[in-house]
Amino acid sequence: MAEGQEVQFIEVSESQQGQRIDNFLRTRLKGAPKSLIYRIVRKGEVRVNKKRIKADYRVQAGDVVRVPPLRLAPESAVKEASESLRNLLAGSVVIEGPDWLVINKPSGLAVHGGSGVKIGLIEALRQVREDLDFLELVHRLDRDTSGCLLLAKNRESLLSLNTALRERRMEKGYLALVQGRWPARRDYVSARLERYDAGNGERRVRVDDNGKVSRTRFAVRETFPKVTLIEAEPVTGRTHQIRVHAAHAGHALLGDDKYGSAEGARIARSLRLDRLFLHALTLTFPDPRTGRPVQARAPLEPGLEKVLERARHGG
């Protein structure tokens, strides 16, 4: 696959101002691996206003960026989003403002490509929303988790929303279906979490006294004969936090192939659940311009609603 057979001259818009040159190029050159971008910058093949720059240079509005002709090997190129994926994402926007958008991320779709994933949500959404010069993830969701995912449309909003996330001024509410009856009195789990290598390059998380402080609030939403629908609010934002904390409490999430149990897998099969039952239902964040709270809500997909109906009737 070829990506630019001629020299390109790209003028930086106001919405793109402040980005590092490597990130600016990564957004504009769909499919170009980071190693290639660093190499052409280091060799001086990328020029800004006819001058050589370093990889940490931040572009300014009005800059003219010279990009050399690039040829990408097929294995390096980002896949074109299929028509079905384009339509799915185009119809998944929950709420949108001038500086941000919230999408109802489908389960099974990684938020970004890499590690064998040729295309993720961010790469596909950039293809769908060609009207936007800038589109970046504010936070992430696990590949198998669905629901509210926030993206920024310009650098200023990205920095503002990242600050809100870091300062815990962003509230996330999840729905999860767990094995067994969750005790109504158990309203939080506080257990330190540590990441470790599970083999084959896979990273997992476990409860460990030497891990990072982690806390999740839980509340029972509905109790069924064999399972419980719970609300979960992560106070901290560790990898796989809700999944590991729930398993640590003795109530693993259904459909969890990393931290679930054999009994949970059996119940999931009886309910015809074929994915992880973890959904980011709500997201509240301060608007970068006004500071006013924005509330987003992503409905459960019909398949999960059907699972709940089966659970109500005892599976």
* Helix 34-42 / helix 21-28 crossing angle, nearest 10 deg: 130
Q: Give the chain's count of helices (H) and strands (E).
A: 8, 18
Q: Which of the residues 142, 187, 257, 274 is marked catalytic? A: 142
Give the list of residues 6+ apart from residue 218 with CB closer than 8 angstroms, or none: 182, 186, 187, 188, 189, 230, 231, 232, 233, 246, 249
Q: How many CB atoms lie within 10 A of CB 212?
A: 14
Choose among 185, 181, 81, 162: nearest CA to 126: 81
Is 257 considered catalytic here? Answer: no
State how far the Cα of 310 lies from the Cα of 307, in Å rounded to an integer.
5
SS3 assignment, position 41: helix
State how far the Cα of 197 lies from the Cα of 16, in Å rounded to an integer.
37
- Count how many residues are written for the chain: 315
State how far the Cα of 143 lies from the Cα of 248, in Å rounded to an integer.
21
Question: How does DSSP assign 138-167, residue by residue?
Answer: SS---TT-EEEEEEESSHHHHHHHHHHHHT
Show the DSSP H helices in the chain as ranges: 21-28, 34-42, 83-90, 121-128, 155-166, 241-248, 262-270, 302-312
SS3 assignment, position 297: strand
Catalytic residues, which ones? 142
